Structure 1
Amino acid sequence: MSRPVPLLIVTGLLLGLIFPMGKIAVEVGVSPLVWTFLIAAGSGLGLMAPLLRRQKRRDWPSGFWRYATISGLVSNVLPNLIVFAAAPRLGAGQVGLMFTLSPVCTLALSLAAGMRRPSSLALTGVFAGFAGAVILVLGKGETRMEDAPLLWLALALLIPVFLAVGNIYRGLAWPEGAGAAELASASNLTSALMLLAGLVVMGDLENIGALMNVPMLTGLQVVLSCAYYVALFALQRAGGPVYLSQIGYVGAAVALIVGVVALDEHYGALTWTGAAIVLVGIGFAVRDQLRVR
């Protein structure tokens, strides 16, 4: 099997597990910003071994920490800050819809940057996944565009833009000689420092103690996050930015199944139709990778 295919499935599966775990944490009193800080700090510290080995050799690739800082800022900190600011004003459905735009934005930016043009099969997968994801979000009954404040809606539209820029940047600026695990660690450590500053500014720092209310969930989240970020950076290198961006589709489908099986959530026919179309889109993407590699 082509290496990007299992990486896409594993990365999307881990992403899909992170979503419902975050929901459980918020329901027991952990703020979303604290949970995001936990993911960044836990992953950064959990994957530090390669960084420590690199530090002993003192052979940092050129631009290594610049890459880590920009990657963390664009892919993690800025999108999450917008999510926290916009979700109370727009609703979870509309904010979730913004994440489904990421593959389409990544595709547009990759073409503008002169990167390899995806095949017609890959393009079909991107747009089929997008259509299914939109239907999936609409099926939750939370999206009311006519009620959305235009300023916040415009701000929320920056979420997929930042995610797409991050996907492209990670691929184009990858420091020569750097490994996936050490880049994942460094990017999360720089993200954690920026998120910590956000916690201080927003007066949310004292709420970190709420993590002690769910120690097993906290530990499991750190372990899954470490695995997720290693897989993410490996997929970035193996599959490219457009292929990588489709982890959101896989994650959405997995989160839906986990919600039904483990969290007793219930969805209507529209949501399941959307999920089926998402799976068709993923199938096109997988078939394309098996064909060309």
Structure 2
Amino acid sequence: MSPRFDSPLVLLLVTGTLLGLAPPLGKAGIAAGVPPLGWALLISAGTAAVLTAILAARGTPPRLDRARAVYATVTAALSYAIPNALMFLAIPHLGAGYAGIMLTLSPVTTLCIAILCRVRRPTALGVAGIVVGFVGAVVVASTRGEVGRPADPLWVAAGLAMPLFLASGNVYRSLGWPPGATPTELAAGSHLAAAAMLLAALVLAGDAGGLVRIADVPGLALAQVAASAAMFACFFRLQVAGGPVYLSQIGYVGAAVGLLGGIAFLGEHYGPATLAGAVVIAAGVAMTTVAQRRATA
């Protein structure tokens, strides 16, 4: 991989853009009859298959030891299985764009957890960014989704829980990184574990039969797997290059792509308060980003 593509900024933009494709693709797939948990399973199973094939072609299949198994299991739960399940379950009620906006809370939440875990010391600007981001989140949450289709507060809470799990996963992946492990290896193992968790959840929910509906939308499914595999190939590289707080900024890029995709291709409509809240959250994200850069300068 070229040095330019290893730069944190390039990785951030690529990873965030690919992340933002998930909400609109997922909403379209769910509308075609695929169970929400089934779409989350498609992402993890497809990503694990593609990345494992790449590793096998390189002659470096994933290694399995206790440290990697623990890392894969915890990462799978915090970063993939739970937040993706929440996102795709909530999207039919909140809209793809609204669910994407919730991703913008990940950077602020990651900074809070990083401070609590003493991964990063707080600065005045960083704390101010947290407060601003929280205010924006309150504004967005109060609008409860698309115009004329207010969501049940339970689904709003589910959307707000997403960045909490994502942020916990962001910090854990840096703290728990197994010595000598490669980014692609960890991505493949974590998604394999996430796929097993989601399949078990589908079986318990009695929705496993709905997986056959994926065959009705082969184009969407292939686009989702390709985007997800490419995203997670970059995701763990960004973890190494930028650290957990910088990596969390993909939520901002992803939210912009998801919001525009929902409006442009899915006919979603959001009121001025929702869009204003998104701008306020973006301001909070910008403040925390500047604070991080100053702290590492």
Cα distance in 2, alignment partners of residues 266 and 99 from structure 1 = 18
- Counterpart among 245, 249, 254 of residue 246 in structure 1: 249
Aligned alpha-carbon RMSD (Å): 3.5
AA in 2 matched with 1:35: W
Distance 1:282 1:289 in 2: 11
In 1, Cα distance between equivalents of 2:62 and 2:236: 22
Q: How many residue pairs are counted as aligned between the two chains?
A: 285
Q: Distance in 1 between matches of 2:290 and 2:160?
A: 30
Asked if residue 105 in structure 1 is aligned to residue 128 in structure 2, the reply is no
- Cα distance change of structure 1 residues 6 and 126 upon mapping to structure 2, 3 Å threshold: farther
The correspondence of residues 9-24 of structure 1 with structure 2, limited to 5 A, is 9-24=13-28
Deviation at 1:272, TM superposition (A): 2.7
Percentage of matched positions with identical amino acids: 43
Alignment of 1:207-246 (within 5 A): 207-246=210-249
Residue 48 of structure 2 corresponds to 44
Q: Who is 1:277 aligned against?
A: 280
With 281-290 and 251-260 compared, the bigger mean Cα shift is at 281-290
Which stretch shows the higher mean deviation, 118-127 or 253-262? 118-127
Deviation at residue 55 of structure 1 after TM alignment:
7.5
Q: Which amino acid aligns with 1:13?
A: T
Closer/same/farther in 2, CA of residues 200 and 31 from structure 1, 3 Å limit: same
Q: Is the 8 A contact 1:50 1:182 kept in 2?
A: no
Post-superposition offset of 1:42: 0.3
In the TM superposition, 1:111-260 aligns within 5 A as 111-139=115-143, 140=145, 142=150, 145=153, 159-260=162-263
1:72 alignment partner, one of 71, 76, 82: 76
Q: Distance in 1 between matches of 2:234 and 2:184?
A: 9
Q: 1:59 to 1:253 in 2, by over 3 A?
A: closer
- Report the TM-score, using the length of structure 2 for normalisation: 0.79
85, 91, 94: which one pairs with 1:92? 94
Tell whether the 8 Å contact from 2:75 to 2:169 is kept in structure 1 after alignment.
yes
Structure 1 gap segments, 5+ residues each: none
Report the counterpart of residue 29 of structure 1 in structure 2.
33
Give the Cα separation in 2 of the matches to 1:160 and 1:287: 20
C-alpha offsets along residues 19-45 of structure 1, whole Å, 9 cap, x if unaligned? 111011111111111000000000000
